[in-house]
Amino acid sequence: MNWLLMNESLQVYLVIGVLLLCIGLFGFFRQRTLVGMLINGELILAGASLNFMAFSHFLAPDPVTGQAFTLFIMGIAAAEAAIVLSIMIGVYRNYRSIETEDLKDLEG
């Protein structure tokens, strides 16, 4: 493999996408707070959109497909972040904490 041409090879992008996904998974298990888990979820989404972009640039007959899909992922990620953060504010108001270990009592 010619290292000077690595920005023109599909495999390099796919490997970076895999690394993003797996680092996100690892962080998802490791973090103890809701914000930390949200951050690592965003990393997983970023890996997915990099995969879409790479495939659409190198393999799709219509390179616009992946770009449109990535734009939609961005919109959904923004909506998701807004909802999750407002839930987090609500949780903090009730429990005075956003650590996952403190959120274990049910009421009803």
Partner 1 sequence: MSAVSPQDAAQAAAALIFAGFAGLTVFGAIVAAVARRLVRCVCGLALSFMGLAGLYYFLHSPFLALMQVLIYVGAICVVIMFALMLAEPHEEQISRRRELLGGAAGLLLAGAFAVALILLVGRASWMPPAVQTNGGTVQDLGRALLNRYGFAFELISALLLLAIIGALVVARSGRRPKP
Tell which positions 25-64 bind partner 1, by CB under 8 A.
25-33, 35-36, 38-40, 42-43, 46, 50, 53-54, 56-64
CA nearest 38: which of 75, 94, 82, 71? 82
CA nearest 58: which of 4, 5, 2, 3? 5
Binding status of residue 103 toward partner 1 by CB under 8 A: no
Contact, 46 vs 37, CB < 8 A? no
Binding status of residue 87 toward partner 1 by CB under 8 A: yes
By CB under 8 A, the count of residues binding partner 1 is: 77
Minimum distance from residue 83 beta carbon to partner 1 (Å): 6
